[in-house]
Structure 1
Amino acid sequence: MAKNTSGRGQRELKVKVKTARGRKLSSTRWLQRQLNDPYVKRAQAEGYRGRAAYKILELDDKYQFLVPGARVVDLGCAPGGWCQVAVKRINALGEKPGKSIGRVIGVDLQDVEPIPGADLHRLDFLSDDADIKVKDWIGGAADVVMSDMAAASSGHKQTDHLRIIALCEAAAYFAFDVLEEGGTFVAKVLAGGAEGDLQKLLKQKFTKVANVKPPASRSDSSEKFVVATGFRG
């Protein structure tokens, strides 16, 4: 009988990772999940710096805020996957003839490897003059402020939830200072019960506020994303 060489009807083999001496069981599970994650494999194949790139891709597919000519600020941009997506979609490299050319500014507490088409800076966005610097770099107000930031994990679920909500609120206030009227704010949050004040704040400042869990977000993760459009100025 001839062998099936087309790959059709065949099950993709799952990679198993043996627990090595000195490696925690949780680390082994994480490594095994990474090795079997289709988004990780896709990111490697398509040149993105991490699976998180597909979260912003899927959010933009739905809400279409990364348009050619847009000026985008990415807070906590390391390792750079969101910037990579933005560069392509806003035409930062001018690769789409006849379309406006956008601008991407990425800021982070650490240095980030250069990304063609993105202007990357080491900056604490919580510093007093951060908004002034960003507007100077981008040449005015921004059309989009986005954040995939997460506070360092404490191992305590409720504490981590409160930390990331506080971080998201800080990012929102930064967005209020740099966004153009009609602009968009996108940020990661963790479900956990403390989002009410953040939602109330955003609804005062934007015409529409949506809470979304894109397909690229792992089903066992409590993360979701808030997409606020139509900044009132």
Structure 2
Amino acid sequence: MKTGGGRGDRDLGVRLKTAHRRTPSSQRWLERQLNDPFVVRAKRDGYRSRAAYKLIEIDEKYKLLKPGQRIVDLGAAPGGWSQIAAKKLGREKGEGAVAAIDLLEIEPIPGVDFIALDFMHDSAPEKLKAMIGGPADGVMSDMAANTTGHKKTDHLRIIGLAEAALQFAREVLAQGGFFLVKLFQGGDTATLVTEMKRDFAQVRHIKPAASRADSSELYVLATGFRGGDAS
């Protein structure tokens, strides 16, 4: 099924005709997609996902991405953030480097070095370090664990991924680098943010416009990494 500007009535008709074939949860997801302006914009602008606009908004405000940087994108599929990073870094001119990882394969993105692998696999950090070719200027994590339906379990999984991403950032970031990570409100999130404040000069909570209003999703941006021994 295709979605796009100016075809809302037709898409709605298709949705209603096929509703009986879907589970209630998949039907709700479809309705949300069909009515999501960021999904329509992503198709129009050639981005892999609506998530691209989250990074665009954050970068426009905080000026994170610059030509010639080295950036690591964790949980990259389907590639929206990597697309933005490659463009901002000047990869079409051979500047900078973008290393991306995800469990899922993605269609190749010009200027992005991608590996299909679980970030939690023991070999993943060293492979990413080799791909980036030196200390990173930024680590971005939009990773999310598969949900179980049990709220506490799902939250702990998200925190576990974020903690692993933070540890990797500590190992790979150059002094002054940034770390951007997706979290969800509640529970151990505050503890993780406290850890980040020890390693970075400034830590901010961000809720981009492209994050759905009914979601507890938030992003934490840590800038001014105080380490810098990555090699």
The 2-side partners of 1:123 and 1:179 are apart by: 21
Check whether the contact 1:15–1:32 (CA below 8 A) recurs between aligned residues.
no
Alpha-carbon separation, structure 2, partners of 1:225 and 1:177: 21
- Give the match's secondary structure for 1:68: coil
Flag the structure with higher helix content.
2
Could you tell me which of 145, 151, 176 is aligned with 1:151? 145
TM-score (norm 1): 0.88
Alignment of 1:1-233 (within 5 A): 16=12, 17-18=15-16, 20-94=19-93, 101-233=95-227
Shift of 1:104: 0.6
Query: CA RMSD, aligned part only?
Result: 1.7
Unaligned runs of 5+ in 1: 1-11, 96-100
Instruction: Single out whichever of 148-157 and 126-135 deviates more from structure 2.
Output: 126-135
CA drift of 1:176 comes to: 0.7
Amino acid at match of 1:176: R
Q: Distance in 2 between matches of 1:212 and 1:193?
A: 18
Unaligned stretches of 5+ in structure 2?
1-7
Question: Which amino acid in the other structure matches residue 200 of structure 1?
Answer: T
CA displacement at 1:159 relative to structure 2: 2.0
Q: Percent identity?
A: 54
Three-state SS of the structure 1 residue aligned to 2:19 is coil
In the TM superposition, structure 1's runs of 4+ consecutive aligned residues that sit over 4 Å from their partners are: 12-15
Cα distance in structure 2, aligned partners of 1:68 and 1:206: 22
What secondary structure is seen at the aligned counterpart in 1 of 2:121?
A: coil
> 2-side partners of 1:14 and 1:230: how far apart?
49
Q: Secondary structure at the match of 1:21?
A: helix
Contact 1:14 1:36 in 2 (8 A): no
Q: Give the Cα–Cα distance (whole angstroms) in 2 for the partners of residues 13 and 217 of structure 1.
A: 25
Q: Quote how far apart the aligned CAs of 1:13 are.
A: 6.1
Larger Rg: 1
- Count of equivalent residues: 217
Structure 1 residues 219 and 141: CA distance shift in structure 2, 3 A: same
